[in-house]
Chain A
Amino acid sequence: MSSSTPHALAESLCILTLKSGIWVLFPITVVMIMVGILRHYIVLMLQSPPKKQPRAAIREQRALIRSQIIRATSANSPIPPTYYKSISQHLSQAFADGTYLKDGPPKGDAPAPTAPNPLTDPAAMDGMMAGMKTQMVMMVPQMVIMGWINFFFQGFVLIKLPFPLTLGFKSMLQRGVETPDMDVRWVSSLSWYFLNFFGLNGLYRLILGGENSADSSRDMTTPFAAAANIAQPGQAQDFNKLFKAERDNLEFAEGLYSWVGKDVDTRILKKYGRLPGEVPR
């Protein structure tokens, strides 16, 4: 015993704990998988179905698409000039008058509508609450598991990796075991928890399919992304302003307009070799 170096001593201690380590290694993994799956189903239950929008709101949102569609083909438009002009000018007029606005055309002297405060707007509040709920479902079980591991298995060494590693991995694999001399190949319980935490996503995808919400490491990397995503549509866009801007685009597209059928007669005749100019293939 006196001849053994501290290093060897640690090694033999590790082998001792390794035997019990097997009984910790698998429970941690199994518990984490179970919690992940449970979390997936809880999130599914918490998700409220998307709110149905009234007809007028949809009309307002989609009005811009109309102008985008007519602009998309304007340089080689499929429709003849009179029809193009009538559609384009009708749209432009409607945008100017605010026909497509949800609440009807704006009054002349009414103050410009300000974007509602997301904290007082109940619609936006719902979205934020949903984000918070998901966050809670993620945070709470992870905190519980981490506390459980820290309390019962602190300093446990669970497995020995079958390959050598450099010293740099020490902080990754031996968290919670502050022993400078121990071989890097030993993995501590807390480190095993973190490895699972970041590595189980692939397994969840196998079990629950691609669009699962079991993986908590994703939320961890972008803590407020989920909440921000949901809050976004709640933010009021000023469609009146958007419509006014779109009028310029429409005018520009009208300048570019040319009908696909404008010279189609000459084109066909050339193609069929009835007109000099282009040699038919």
Chain B
Amino acid sequence: MDLTTSLQKLAAYRPKQSQKSKETFEKGVALLEHGGYLKQGDEGWDALERLALAALDQDNLEVADRCLELIAERFPGSPRVDCLIGIRMEATESPDVVLKYYDELLEADSSNAAAWRRKVSVLRKMGKVDRAVEELSALLDTFYTDVEGWLELADLYASCSQYVPILLISDAQNLMSARYTYALQSLSHALLLAPQNPSHFLQFAETAYLAGDITLSLKMFLTVVDMTDDDDGDVSPSDSIPTGMTLRAWFGVKLCTRRLLTEPRLLTSSGSQTPAPSSSNISTLDDLSTERLRTAYLDIKNESPPATEKELIAVLATLIK
């Protein structure tokens, strides 16, 4: 792993208490006891770093401290270690102290992107969302290619309602869509940076749906379908069974077409002025997506799907989660 990607990973670190960290932790502790890491050379240090993060994730500060001590002894003054120490501090110290630590790091080297990202996440945890947004925007203005950063910015916009320029707040509906429009803008940067990743498209489509821009959302969902369905396989696309992301995209298509068919107002009220598909195309897409969803349901549950559309959507909504 080279330095930049490791720093980016560290910067994007967030405690999750996941199953995976538990596994890493249990395996790692045994190795740590035997001093096995020190014999492996560079890979050992990488593994030790992972163990430290996993230990923090599992709230085992003792093990984390031992790992950190070993690492800090070997690599004094490395930005990666500074960042790890910061993450360790976040576990016990008050946010103000940690924030000060990161500020000091940034003062010493104003281009330390990892410390900058950590600062943003601390700000976010403290609830200072507006400052987090401000810092993250400045960071992305300098380090444009940080896809994770753009996704986080989109997430920040979508999850908070505090930070929207005052001018735009005229009523609740506007407020909602303004939030999501900002999120969409951030996501479009992520799309530009990684146009090969369908999950960003899916996120864009879902955000557009929430923003009430149904025609844009429909097109994006269809793009995801186009990207993820297995059209290189032996079966023709119409005989394949949608799974995973494709299924989720078809579900999105279904939701969009239903809303477009029931609320014709939405055909022309797109915030991004995305032209709607022709009405015959919409109804055909509606049929097609129903058929796709039924196929998927049959495959997952092994029973015939519910007859009405409403029930089908309700049942699938629980399946896709």
Residues of A within 8 A of B (CB): 52-55, 58-59, 62, 65-66, 69-70, 73, 77-84, 86-87, 260-262, 264-269, 271-275, 280-281
Contacts and interface: CB of A to CB of B under 8 A. Distances in A.
B241 interface: no
Interface in B95-152: 109-111, 141-145
Nearest to A273: B238
Contacts of A73: 192, 195
A49 to B, nearest CB: 10
A208 B141 CA distance: 41
A274 B192 contact: no
Contacts of B223: 78, 260-261, 264
Query: Chain B's interface: helix, strand, loop or mixed, by majority?
Result: helix
B111 A265 contact: no
Interface stretch (B25-33, B165-173, B273-281, B306-314): B273-281
B272 A54 contact: no
Given A52-B111, A264-B219, A268-B285, A80 B141 contact: no
Contacts of A77: 192
B142 A55 contact: yes
Nearest to A57: B111
B317 interface: no
Contacts of B195: 73, 78
Interface string B212-226: 000010111011011
Nearest to B195: A78
Nearest to A266: B281
A127 B236 CA distance: 61
A280 B193 CA distance: 32
B111 A58 contact: yes
Nearest to A55: B110
B174 interface: no
B284 A274 contact: yes
Contact of A78 (B192, B218, B237): B192
A80 B274 contact: yes
B175 interface: no
B111 A268 contact: no
Nearest to B197: A78
Given A73-B195, A78-B195, A261-B220, A267 B226 contact: yes
Interface string B143-187: 111000000000000000000000000000000000000001100
B188 interface: yes
Contacts of B231: 271, 281
Nearest to A99: B141
B285 A280 contact: no
B191 interface: yes
Most A CB contacts (10 A, CB to CB) among B142, B193, B216, B277 go to B142
A105 to B, nearest CB: 16
B142 A272 contact: no
A53 B222 contact: no
B85 interface: no
A84 B188 CA distance: 8
Contacts of A83: 184-185, 188, 272
B189 interface: yes
